[in-house]
Amino acid sequence: MGIRSQLLLMLALVLVAGSTALGLLQNRSTTSEFLLLVDEQREQALPPLGEAAEALSEAFVEGGWEGVDAALADLADTDGSHLFMLLAQGQGGRSSHPQFSLRKAQVDAETVRVELDNASAGTRFALAEHLKQTELVYSGDQQLGRLLRFPLPGSELTPPQQRFLQQTRSSLIVLLATLLGAALIIAYVFGRRITRPLQQLAEASERISDGEYGHQVAVRSSDEVGQMASRFNQMSTQLARDQQLRKQMVSDIAHELRTPITGMRCSIEALRDGLLPFEPQTADELHQDLLQLQRLVEDLQMLSLAEAGELNLQWSPTELPELVGAAVRALPASDAEQRVRIAAAELRPITTDAGRLRQVLINLLHNAITHSPPESTVEVQIDQGDQFTCIRVIDSGPGVPESELESIFERFYRTDGARQRLGGSGGSGLGLAISRELVRLLGGQISASNRAPCGLMVTVSLPVESPGHRAQGPVRRSSAG
């Protein structure tokens, strides 16, 4: 059973139970009020209790207690809906209906209570009446007793009264049924409105499980269901992006491997067939192709370990100017020391992994020199605050389109403009991606921005006291970002 069916069934059960309870209470209240109204009307149609007391007094004078019993019977004949009873002193209770006999009577300051036996029905019940609504009966100076008048239990309604009560009950049933039907329709409409987005989410999930990444659902509200749909769309977009990146990465890796492998294959086949003499230059070319393959494999392994948080970090106090100088000296460019200018004030040592940070600086500096015009200067600025140290590598190249600044740190990413990686430079296309993961492992952040009038500035922000400098072994992260 689906959520919509369960929701409608639950609402239907609640509405039916509530309507039934409301109908029973309303029917009981209506019937009770109607019977009270009928009793009041019947009581108003009866002669005043004072007149009945005078009739009993005259009957006693004329015929004694037998005359009183006959007068009580005459009172009952006028209207069979009420019971007249005379609580006579020393005579017990004398009733207008022979089948009702007095069992017990109690008179207090405000109320008269009696217990009666119904000989014809074999039942016993109690009745009560306010003392002020009773009447004392006298014969001369002799007090005969106290006259009571009760609505007779079990008295039948007249046919018109019964029809009115039945019509009232029927109208109540029709009204409740109408309200119940309207409530069920409203519940169905709102239930469908609530569950339809969930059904669309389920269908979209099936499509994503079938490989249709990027499928979106309509967001029609801002409530919890709408928020769920928005997060689903974000997840779907991210899955599509990750899938595209994976495909692109496989394609890029194949391309990067194909170039040196193809060159090596052609050279080896030519050597095997005798078309190419074996010379030191040929061996050097094969050796360079092998080194390029090795660098690519090592970079891929480094990036994989960094993303998984499996790299061992050696935390130690590090002097940044010395570390930047060592990175400059390790660059393959012969004029690197002349082209790189370091600007740094007095700096405190920071706690970091000097080897990993040196690798980041080498990647950034090599990238800056490669994409800068010849004879231009690459500037390294180091600023330090109370908690963070910023290292900025600024080149004089053509810059990167604003829309691609966040993407240059992806694997094998190439811009379409003048900053494309030069063919034959020996790079693997993974330097900035590795730099990003290493900076994250060191507890910092890396970003890129264009600098007017030209040039790219890459900023590395590192904490002065790294939060992981006391950790032993590999540093692990929950996600690779």
The number of distinct structural domains making up the chain is 3
Same-domain check for residues 272 and 348: no
Same-domain check for residues 92 and 61: yes
User: Cα–Cα distance between 315 and 261 in angstroms, integer?
Assistant: 39
Does 343 reside within a domain? yes
Same-domain check for residues 294 and 367: no
User: Cα–Cα distance between 71 and 55 in angstroms, integer?
Assistant: 7
Q: Which pLDDT belongs to residue 82?
A: 75
Report yes or no: 59 and 71 within 8 Å, Cβ to Cβ: yes
Q: Which of 144-158, 161-175, 260-274 has the highest mean pLDDT?
A: 260-274
- Domain of 276, CATH number, reads 1.10.287.130
Nearest Cα neighbor of 127 from 105, 110, 109, 156 is 105
Same-domain check for residues 345 and 442: yes
Same-domain check for residues 348 and 261: no
Helix H or strand E encompassing 39: helix 3-45
Report whether the peptide linkage leading into residue 153 is cis, meaning its omega lies within 30 degrees of zero. Answer: no
Does 452 reside within a domain? yes
Does 387 reside within a domain? yes
Does 435 reside within a domain? yes
User: Cα–Cα distance between 361 and 342 in angstroms, integer?
Assistant: 12
Report yes or no: 358 and 326 within 8 Å, Cβ to Cβ: yes
Using CA atoms, how far residue 298 sits from 292, 431, 433, in Å, is 10, 11, 13
Same-domain check for residues 345 and 396: yes
**Antiparallel, parallel or unpaired: β 340-344 and 350-352:** unpaired
pLDDT tens across 9-43, in order? 777 788 778 878 877 887 777 777 776 676 666 66
Same-domain check for residues 448 and 320: yes
In the predicted structure, residue 47 carries a pLDDT above the cut 70: no
Same-domain check for residues 315 and 459: yes
Task: Give the domain extent around 290.
Answer: 224-305
> Which band of pLDDT confidence, cut at 50, 70 and 90, is reported for residue 79?
low
* Residues 6+ positions from 387 with CB-CB distance below 8 Å: 463, 464, 465
Number of helices (H) and strands (E), helices first, in the chain?
A: 9, 14
The residues that bridge with 462 in the sheet, in sequence order, are: 389
pLDDT tens across 289-346, in order? 787 788 778 777 777 777 777 778 888 999 999 999 999 988 887 788 888 999 887 8
Same-domain check for residues 340 and 428: yes
- Encoding tokens for residue 337? 């020391």
> Which band of pLDDT confidence, cut at 50, 70 and 90, is reported for residue 478?
very low
In the predicted structure, residue 424 carries a pLDDT above the cut 50: no
Three-state SS at 388: strand
pLDDT tens across 219-278, in order? 877 777 788 888 888 888 888 887 877 777 777 777 777 777 887 888 888 888 888 788
Q: Which residue has the tokens 């053509």?
A: 398
Same-domain check for residues 454 and 365: yes
- Domain of 375, CATH number, reads 3.30.565.10
User: Rounded to a whole number, what is the largest CA-CA distance in the chain?
Assistant: 162
- pTM to 2 decimals? 0.49
Summarize the chain as % helix, strand, coil (round to 5).
50, 20, 30
Does 24 reside within a domain? no
Does 20 reside within a domain? no
442 compared with 202, residue with greater pLDDT = 442
Same-domain check for residues 328 and 459: yes
**Antiparallel, parallel or unpaired: β 111-118 and 123-130:** antiparallel
pLDDT tens across 204-213, in order? 888 888 878 8
User: Cα–Cα distance between 225 and 223 in angstroms, integer?
Assistant: 6
Q: What is the mean pLDDT of the chain?
A: 78
> Which band of pLDDT confidence, cut at 50, 70 and 90, is reported for residue 475?
very low
Same-domain check for residues 277 and 330: no
Three-state SS at 33: helix
